[in-house]
């Protein structure tokens, strides 16, 4: 209700400024035990029926915060209090990288979408790691890693750059997501190219084996672009299976623009970028179906795209739709911009009602029965 009143004001402001101020507020609230407890009272109730076990980890509920919202690891305290079952911090790159110049965000209110052209800005793994080492995680934290977006870092050096971050974060992460798609960089190649992916995954496997000594074994997920064609996706699935990737986050933002209501001239003036929110959802649904078929449903899928953006849709129904399609967890980002922080509670309460209506005693039972 409060957010509905605030939204016209926020949407009248520069989206980058709103995000910066949100992070600042979140950072302040994260530091205060009193504030965290208050926020938890209002926004973060949990229901036993929603607990799930995925990737060897226990989650209070299946709804997570997608990567990109807290790139620098400043908000884990408050994100847990808001009722999320997990979050991804990042994308984090080995070296600091400034990202692209402003403007980097374009809201598409008529489509309930957002285009971002941030360019993988990161304070770098050392700074983010130091910050996170001081935090007492209350929910599973996925560390989302990406190659430093410096186009000069290529070939063998690119693989080393990525593995450097893996080694740093392995002990701390609950799981690691590899952001393989790179719609925001000027570099021609990305890790979704099989010729780069194969040597990378092979080296990653060795690094994982080394890191497992003295550490609990950690799950590795690959985050995929929903724009992959069949041949690339097929090869990616084969390589993922060969080199022990444990699951997929589907997906990242899309470069496609068809069917949007937003004025083409406005989008052209903004330029390239990754589209998230409601228009992404159909692409993510198709991608989940393709991956589910290719993996015969054996590999956990984290669905990500468009949840909570469309005011005419029940967001719990949208999450339920993803779970029925084969996902084990669901993440969101853009929905928070359109509907505010109470979205998580609405989804979780709605999921409990759906389970009751379907005569399913809890979500664990549902995931087992699929
Ligand atoms: C502003 C913004 C920044 C993002 N940055 C990242 C990122 O650094 N790494 C990443 O893996 N995904 C990033 N994403 C993609 C989201 O994690 C998510 O995959 C995508 O937005 C689809 O979900 P949504 O429709 O719920 O927003 C970003 C998305 C947005 C909107």
Domain layout of the chain by residue ranges = 2-369
CB 128 within 8 A of CB 97: no
- Tens of pLDDT, residues 29-86: 999 999 999 999 999 999 999 999 999 999 999 999 999 999 999 999 999 999 999 9
- pTM to 2 decimal places: 0.96
CA gap 365, 370 in Å, rounded: 9
pLDDT of residue 189: 61
Class of domain 2-369: alpha beta
308 lines ligand 1 (CB under 6 A): no
**The pLDDT value given to residue 214:** 77
Q: How far is the CA of 85 from the centre of ligand 1 (A)?
A: 18
Does 118 contact ligand 1 (Cβ within 6 A)?
A: yes
Which atom of ligand 1 lies closest to the CA of 280? 25
Distance (Å) from CA 68 to ligand 1 centroid: 5
pLDDT at res. 184: 42
* Residue with CA at minimum distance from ligand 1 atom 26: 332
Closest residue by Cα to atom 2, ligand 1, is 68
CB 90 within 8 A of CB 145: yes
Locate the ligand 1 atom nearest the alpha carbon of residue 105 and give its number: 1
pLDDT of residue 265: 94
Q: Which of 197, 239, 241, 247 is nearest to 219 (CA)?
A: 247
Ligand 1, atom 30, residue with closest C-alpha: 68
Cα(93) to ligand 1 centroid in Å equals: 15
Residue ranges for the chain with pLDDT beneath 70? 182-189
Q: Read off the tokens for 363.
A: 């979500």
pLDDT of residue 181: 73
Angle at 32 between CA 93 and CA 59, to 5 degrees: 60
Phi, psi of 117 (to 5 degrees): -135, 50
Residue 68 host element (H or E): none
The DSSP secondary-structure symbol of 332 reads E
pLDDT at res. 213: 81
Pairing of strands 113-116, 141-145: unpaired
String of DSSP letters for 133-188: HT---SS-EEEEE-----TT--HHHHHHHHHHHHHHHTTT-SEEEEE---TT-S-S
């Amino acid at each position: 209700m409060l957010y509905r009143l605030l939204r016209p004001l926020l949407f009248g402001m520069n989206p980058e400024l709103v995000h910066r101020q949100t992070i600042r507020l979140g950072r302040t609230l994260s530091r205060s035990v009193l504030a965290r407890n208050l926020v938890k009272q209002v926004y973060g109730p949990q229901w036993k029926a929603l607990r799930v076990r995925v990737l060897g980890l226990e989650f209070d509920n299946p709804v997570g915060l997608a990567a990109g919202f807290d790139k620098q690891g400043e908000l884990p305290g408050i994100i847990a209090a808001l009722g999320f079952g997990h979050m991804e911090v990042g994308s984090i790159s080995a070296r600091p990288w400034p990202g692209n110049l402003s403007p980097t965000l374009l809201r598409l209110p008529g489509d309930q979408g957002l285009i971002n052209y941030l360019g993988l800005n990161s304070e770098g793994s050392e700074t983010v790691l130091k910050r996170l080492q001081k935090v007492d995680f209350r929910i599973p934290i996925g560390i989302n890693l990406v190659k430093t977006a410096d186009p000069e870092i290529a070939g063998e050096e690119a693989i080393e750059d990525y593995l450097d971050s893996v080694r740093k974060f392995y002990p701390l992460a609950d799981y690691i997501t590899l952001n393989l798609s790179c719609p925001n960089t000027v570099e021609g190649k990305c890790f979704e190219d099989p010729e780069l992916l194969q040597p990378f995954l092979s080296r990653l496997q060795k690094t994982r084996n080394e890191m497992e000594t003295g550490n609990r074994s950690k799950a590795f997920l690959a985050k995929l672009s929903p724009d992959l064609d069949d041949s690339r996706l097929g090869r990616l699935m084969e390589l993922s299976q060969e080199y022990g990737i444990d699951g997929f986050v589907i997906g990242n933002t899309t470069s496609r623009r068809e069917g949007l209501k937003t004025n083409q001239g406005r989008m052209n003036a903004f330029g390239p970028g990754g589209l998230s929110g409601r228009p992404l959802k159909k692409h993510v649904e198709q991608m989940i179906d393709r991956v589910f078929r290719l993996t015969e449903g054996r590999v956990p899928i984290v669905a990500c795209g468009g949840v909570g953006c469309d005011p005419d849709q029940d967001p719990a129904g949208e999450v339920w739709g993803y779970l029925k399609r084969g996902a084990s967890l669901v993440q969101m980002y853009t929905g928070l911009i359109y509907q505010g922080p109470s979205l998580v509670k609405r989804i979780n309460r709605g999921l409990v009602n759906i389970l009751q209506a379907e005569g399913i005693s809890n979500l664990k039972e549902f995931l087992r029965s699929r």
